[in-house]
Amino acid sequence: MDIRTIFTRDLIADRELLATFVFCLAEVQVAPASRLFHGEVVDLRPYEVLIEFDRLEREIQMEKAQFVSHLELLQRMRRMTFKQEKDYCKVILAIELPIGSSNQTRRTGNQVQSIKFEQWTELDLEQIRIQGFSKDYLDMVRQILHRFMKVVGNKVINEITVYDYREYVRALQQGGASNSSVNNYRRALVASMNRAIRAGYLTKNPIESEKPLPVNRSRPKIVEREDMKILREHINLAWLHNVIDFALLSTKRHGEILHLKWDDIDSEAGKIWIHSSEKYRVKFNKEQDLPLSEPLKALLKRIEDEQRTNGVESDYVFVDEKGKHLREKKVQEAMKEARESAGLEPHITIHGLRRTTSTKLRQKNVSTNTIKGILNHENEKTTNRYLGVPREDELDALNKLSLSDFLP
């Protein structure tokens, strides 16, 4: 990290503020550590330091209240965050080691620090938060890093290879992610790995050499009426019909559907709570109160009656033939088997149904802004990528033409 980005003019101009910052900086370690304080073991994360208040007057001739006041100012300046206890405080500095000129920030050979990916994720997210990035960006990076670790495991970060990334891409594609989405995730991972280089945990970015996937800017593929009819004829699992029906009526992602619990449905308030849990994190951590439509009410009543008839007692709305909570992999495999048995195209997935319903809403003259809200998108540009053109609309449009339209 360039020394000029740390010791800025506003910091140097205030002698006491500078003394407070340097006092904390002198304690920084890039690896997790533990400190013994009055017989208590205090665990410290990377870049987190323990400052004992009884050292202040002795070492920097500053009273506790004055020191804490300077910490509060440094926190407002986004230079650190701190948590105050009775006899000490824990400070996390918004820096990256080593410090030097801009061309000295990489480490080589045996100077690389060892850190597990889970620890790096925690550190990276903390640095992003301190540096004032938006909550949406923070949530996006958190989800991408957690999903990457779920696929490749909690490896030491400098042992991650391009083959791990390729395995991650395959997992995303099997889950229905488009090339455009995969490229977005790649950008976030590359940025995180570059930050790890600057922090001294990597000498080379293992992902940067992988080129972005080609993106086809043609219109989105949707499930046509005829294909939907054929698909259903090749499905003999009642629970898969239920999942498909809910996807079509709600536009929700397969993860959001499968982790839905009965307690998330508020019939009186007329809404369904789409949210993260211990087992599942919604995309970018964006929760939603989905309106409970009459068709959804009827579908959920049907599912509830089926579970009662079959003697199923489950917290989850969607269960398999044995009454067990459905997993994404099982749904994907069943959907793939039905699709291939029917001779249909690979784009017919649960996520493909999300595009299909979006297109159907637009066909019914629902505004793009309203569809954006239902999909829980950030902007209409993203929503427009979901809107296809049904064949029947193309036929209706062409039937409106005649040769007389082109003659005088």
Q: Give mean pLDDT, residues 78-91.
A: 88
DSSP β-bridge partners for residue 116: 156
Query: Counting beta carbons within 10 angstroms of the beta carbon of residue 147, is it exposed (0 to 12), middle (13 to 18) or buried (19 or more)?
Result: middle
Q: Give mean pLDDT, residues 53-68.
A: 91
**Cα–Cα dist 38/54, whole Å:** 12
Q: Give mean pLDDT, residues 345-369.
A: 93
Look at residue 199 and give its three-state secondary structure: coil
Cβ–Cβ < 8 Å for 59, 23? yes
**Cα–Cα dist 230/107, whole Å:** 59
Q: Residue 107 pLDDT > 60, yes or no?
A: no
| CA distances for 378 relative to 217, 371, 383, angstroms | 20, 11, 9
Residue 214 is inside which H or E element, if any? none
With both helix axes pointing from N to C terminus, report the angle between 135-152 and 117-130 in degrees, rounded to the nearest 10. Answer: 170
Q: Residue 74 pLDDT > 80, yes or no?
A: yes
Cβ–Cβ < 8 Å for 175, 147? no
**pLDDT tens digits along 2-19:** 676 778 888 888 889 999
**Cα–Cα dist 113/31, whole Å:** 7
Q: Give mean pLDDT, residues 389-403.
A: 85
pLDDT at 108: 43
Q: Which long-range contacts (CB under 8 A, 24 or more apart) does 332-335 make?
A: 332/174, 332/175, 332/176, 332/254, 334/235, 334/237, 334/240, 335/240
Number of residues assigned to the chain: 408
CATH topology of domain 106-198: DNA polymerase; domain 1 (1.10.150)
DSSP β-bridge partners for residue 34: 43
Among 1-15, 44-58, 168-182, 385-399, the least confident range: 1-15
Look at residue 26 and give its three-state secondary structure: coil
**pLDDT tens digits along 301-339:** 999 999 999 999 999 999 999 999 999 999 999 999 999
**pLDDT tens digits along 207-261:** 988 999 987 666 788 999 999 999 999 999 999 999 999 999 999 998 999 999 9
CATH 1.10.443.10 location in the chain? 225-394
pTM: 0.56
Q: Give mean pLDDT, residues 86-98.
A: 81
With both helix axes pointing from N to C terminus, report the angle between 350-363 and 238-250 in degrees, rounded to the nearest 10. Answer: 40
Token pair recorded at residue 183: 């490229």
SS (H, E, C) 325-381: ECCHHHHHHHHHHHHHHHCCCCCCCHHHHHHHHHHHHHHCCCCHHHHHHHHCCCCHH
Give the CA angle between residues 50, 51, 52 to the nearest 5°.
Answer: 115
pLDDT higher for 31 or 177?
Answer: 177
For residue 330, which amino acid is it? K
| CA distances for 17 relative to 5, 40, 68, 76, 269, angstroms | 16, 30, 11, 13, 52
What's the gap between Cα 88 and its chain centre? 35
CATH number of 225-394: 1.10.443.10
Question: Chain-wide mean pLDDT for the chain?
Answer: 87
pLDDT at 104: 35
CATH 1.10.150.130 location in the chain? 106-198
